Structure 1
């Protein structure tokens, strides 16, 4: 099968990848900016916490100074507190170091005029724990830390409040931001390269199609797949079903098959082997329980890339049935034409005998001609009560006779007027007789002549059909494969494909719980046994009548 090669136009080449690249770069720039701002805020918060902890450390150092502790407990403050606090403030770089007594009165401050004035906030260190926060005081905005102040005897005498200037925090932040900006730029550059590579990959994956073209192709594909009266299944390179239309679901009995492999949705058999490419060739015939299908599988490639395969499934049930009927009618027509010639010769003989006055001989010829066909019909009707089966056997016998094959109804045959499985029985007998007549009519005649023996019997358990012929028989080792669709030792015959009759017989027999056996070697013998149908479920499904020999 020639692979399908897809060629796609390159109109508007590069537009889709350019749009994707620009969009991704814009997203990267926006996310980088947002990340930079969020990181700056996070770093600002971290610096605030660092400076608050530094303020607490300075406050603890101040609160541990023995001169301040003694002065605050014994003298209630004084100039020594201001001197020590200012020395610590200047050495630590704090914006203020304020010593406050329990009444909230300042005993030190960078602004001397505020010494002795009360603070507006309550003394929070009464609980004996450090406190941190942000303070908007007389020296400006600062990171603030407060710790309790104890006298030499361990008595709580006040608290120490230390502030770190805000501009120190901002200055350190501004010193760190260029590094953060560099990291952001590097991440954005890496993302841009990745976006460029991704855009190129998407361009190759979509074969240069624009988004509008892809959407249009999808709409067209859906309309086409579900509008045609032919089953379509597409497989990806991994062998999974990627597309299946409604007709394929109907013909193959598939449910939710997308994303599944064939072995997950179909049992092993000829149908699955035809779909997965195990069976090669064109117009592969496959029989299912209800349909005669023609399967074609075509690999799909694009720019040298294997994209999977597309399988088309066509329903040929009615067509094959009609072709088989036409083929049977042609055979019967040929037989009737040959009989007409024979009858004409008999009439000429009869006329000649009358002309010469041989009336006794003419009478015998007339009686013989009139009773030959009637005798055949009567001999069949003695053993078979159903008129449809009688007509089938007589017609097959007449056709076989013109091919030099004698069809004999076994004397042990016995079939009633209303046998069970009658429609299926007609199909089985017709196909087996056609197959046997074809086999017996091929090759040189055996010593006993070309013959086919038919046996039809029924009992309380089942109906048995046995067809034996004098043909070459089933080839050695082919007993298990002769019932597969398409198996045949003979070429196709004009209108009718071979390899379907025995497959249909096998399906009919198996579906209704029967058995079919065949002998190997010269002279094939097919034996079919159909059990009686269940009285509750006597309804039957539609079957495909396929005539013609298979061997």
Structure 2
């Protein structure tokens, strides 16, 4: 059955049951009240008749002039009871609607000899009636007779029938209004539920739950007040939400920062990059409206940490390949020179040229390796020097640079140096020559890294913005997101308990200090002693 039919039948069943029970109860109570009213009416007439002096005097004298019958007829005409019967204490009738029974004795004993009035229903010669009997007292206070007044049951039945018709009409009106109300309610429910039946709603709910908690992408649903209405397990993991989040404002689930601004809608944009303590997230926030009315928004978060790491590793490999290509090109040119000298017969000159090249190339690599203990860092510097030379940028490692012990955060140091050098090389792309980048390394107290270039530098009003994840003034490279390098450096430095200082231009100037590991400090003290 459709939702409309179910609502209509359910409402009608309940209403019919309630109306029928109410009608029956009201009829029973009404009939009982009507019975009591007729009995009290008869009692009033009987009591009044018994108190009439004419009735008392005539009954005490034996009613020689038949005055009691005449008075009874007057009372019936005035008060409209069905009958008024007056008897003496022995039950002899002095008045009766059937004149033939006057002077005859009652079939039942006189009920008022106890001096009290009596109410009830009496099955007399005229039929069933609501009856009241009142005693007639003589001058000495003794009971000398009885007045019996009755109202036939046929009159009461007519009144009861009129009442029942009223109840039936009222019940029918209630049922009619209920049917209309049920139809209106069902139409409203159908409109709210987009004309979906209960089975369809249940199926959609099951689908939603399966989809929401089955996908690996994080999903958060918000209402118009910014409170969480839906959140799946992946979103809980990425946002580190452990407590019940439903009904909680999303601003209370994450700390202050760029992520909160994106989740609350303070910042807009598609595929916005956010760097958290342990993940790189791509955030999208889309408003949701139904029928032109806003019902909230949906937030999706994608964990791109591993993919972004692979992309950056790939670019690092490509950088090394570019460096090898540049070296290959350079060595090819040198071989051409050697070959030309040999062709010309200048053997000694060729030997001298080869010796000079060998000394120069070996001195650059050996010079770096002798001062920079971590081999991966020395290799990185050598590759960056070669790649930068291809772009007409000179990278100079200061002569007093020293990194004699592999730092505890060797991988982090390589990441910091690589990002700072990449930013410096990119900053010099469209600047006039000469283009120079100077890097200084020192591990006297912790690890100190300084990278400077003669480019435009960072404007003073943008110093705080450049370390925000997603901020970049450069064109996007295919397959790689911008605005990550300096944010990643800032996160590594902050996690290690170090400092990152950025100085305003002209000229880029970045200084990083990382504290030394405890074991490295102790070892240093031992060597000094």
Q: TM-score, normalised by structure 2?
A: 0.73
In structure 1, what is the equivalent of residue 492 of structure 2?
Answer: 508
Matched, 1:479 2:470: no
Among candidates 183, 202, 207, match of residue 196 of structure 1: 183
In structure 2, what is the equivalent of residue 313 of structure 1?
Answer: 301
Is the partner of 1:477 in helix, strand or coil?
Answer: helix
Looking at structure 1, the residues matched to 115 and 366 of structure 2 have their Cα atoms a distance apart, in angstroms, of: 131
Looking at structure 2, the residues matched to 453 and 93 of structure 1 have their Cα atoms a distance apart, in angstroms, of: 126
Looking at structure 2, the residues matched to 251 and 498 of structure 1 have their Cα atoms a distance apart, in angstroms, of: 21
Q: Which has the higher contact order (CA 8 A, sep 6+)?
A: 1
In structure 2, what is the equivalent of residue 221 of structure 1?
Answer: 208
In structure 2, what is the equivalent of residue 8 of structure 1?
Answer: none
Q: Larger C-alpha radius of gyration, 1 or 2? A: 2
**Displacement, 1:489?**
0.7
Looking at structure 2, the residues matched to 97 and 425 of structure 1 have their Cα atoms a distance apart, in angstroms, of: 123
In structure 2, what is the equivalent of residue 432 of structure 1?
Answer: 420
Q: 1:522 to 1:370 in 2, by over 3 A?
A: closer
Looking at structure 1, the residues matched to 200 and 234 of structure 2 have their Cα atoms a distance apart, in angstroms, of: 26
Q: Is the Cα contact below 8 Å between 2:500 and 2:512 reproduced in 1?
A: yes
**Displacement, 1:499?**
0.8
Q: Is there any run of 5+ residues in structure 1 with no aligned partner, and where? A: 1-14, 536-551
Q: Is the Cα contact below 8 Å between 1:436 and 1:468 reproduced in 2?
A: yes
Looking at structure 1, the residues matched to 128 and 298 of structure 2 have their Cα atoms a distance apart, in angstroms, of: 75
Looking at structure 2, the residues matched to 464 and 182 of structure 1 have their Cα atoms a distance apart, in angstroms, of: 97
Q: 1:356 to 1:513 in 2, by over 3 A?
A: closer
Is the partner of 2:431 in helix, strand or coil?
Answer: coil
Is the partner of 1:407 in helix, strand or coil?
Answer: strand
The size of the alignment, in residue pairs, is 499
Among candidates 448, 468, 480, match of residue 496 of structure 1: 480
Is the partner of 1:38 in helix, strand or coil?
Answer: helix
Moved more, 338-347 or 57-66: 57-66
Is the partner of 1:358 in helix, strand or coil?
Answer: helix
Q: 1:374 to 1:520 in 2, by over 3 A?
A: closer
Matched, 1:343 2:331: yes
In structure 2, what is the equivalent of residue 453 of structure 1?
Answer: 439
Q: Deviations over 1:209-264 (max 9, x none)?
A: 44444443333333333333323344556655444433333333345444555334
In structure 1, what is the equivalent of residue 525 of structure 2?
Answer: none
Q: 1:44 to 1:451 in 2, by over 3 A?
A: same
Among candidates 439, 443, 463, match of residue 431 of structure 2: 443
**Displacement, 1:491?**
0.6
Q: Is the Cα contact below 8 Å between 1:286 and 1:293 reproduced in 2?
A: yes
Looking at structure 2, the residues matched to 408 and 144 of structure 1 have their Cα atoms a distance apart, in angstroms, of: 129
Moved more, 478-487 or 526-535: 526-535
In structure 2, what is the equivalent of residue 285 of structure 1?
Answer: 273
Q: Deviations over 1:312-338 (max 9, x none)?
A: 433222111111111122122112221
**Displacement, 1:31?**
0.7
Q: 1:518 to 1:154 in 2, by over 3 A?
A: farther
Q: Is the Cα contact below 8 Å between 1:62 and 1:88 reproduced in 2?
A: no
In structure 1, what is the equivalent of residue 237 of structure 2?
Answer: 250
Is the partner of 1:518 in helix, strand or coil?
Answer: strand
Looking at structure 2, the residues matched to 157 and 419 of structure 1 have their Cα atoms a distance apart, in angstroms, of: 132
Looking at structure 2, the residues matched to 327 and 198 of structure 1 have their Cα atoms a distance apart, in angstroms, of: 64
Matched, 1:49 2:33: yes
Matches for 1:78-157 after TM superposition, within 5 Å: 113-114=106-107, 116-117=109-110, 135=120, 137-138=122-123
CA RMSD of superposed structures (Å): 5.0
Matched, 1:470 2:454: yes
Looking at structure 1, the residues matched to 136 and 364 of structure 2 have their Cα atoms a distance apart, in angstroms, of: 137
Is the partner of 1:404 in helix, strand or coil?
Answer: coil
In structure 2, what is the equivalent of residue 539 of structure 1?
Answer: none
Q: 1:56 to 1:99 in 2, by over 3 A?
A: farther
**Displacement, 1:38?**
0.8
Looking at structure 1, the residues matched to 456 and 300 of structure 2 have their Cα atoms a distance apart, in angstroms, of: 37
Looking at structure 1, the residues matched to 517 and 78 of structure 2 have their Cα atoms a distance apart, in angstroms, of: 111
Matched, 1:358 2:351: no
Q: 1:362 to 1:396 in 2, by over 3 A?
A: closer
Q: 1:276 to 1:147 in 2, by over 3 A?
A: farther
Is the partner of 2:469 in helix, strand or coil?
Answer: coil
Q: 1:346 to 1:498 in 2, by over 3 A?
A: same
Is the partner of 2:433 in helix, strand or coil?
Answer: coil
**Displacement, 1:432?**
2.4
**Displacement, 1:20?**
0.6
Looking at structure 2, the residues matched to 107 and 473 of structure 1 have their Cα atoms a distance apart, in angstroms, of: 135
Is the partner of 2:273 in helix, strand or coil?
Answer: strand
Q: Deviations over 1:121-151 (max 9, x none)?
A: x9898xxxx999xx55545877789999999
Q: Is the Cα contact below 8 Å between 2:50 and 2:146 reproduced in 1?
A: no
Matched, 1:372 2:389: no
Q: 1:419 to 1:378 in 2, by over 3 A?
A: closer
Looking at structure 2, the residues matched to 39 and 204 of structure 1 have their Cα atoms a distance apart, in angstroms, of: 35
**Displacement, 1:425?**
3.6
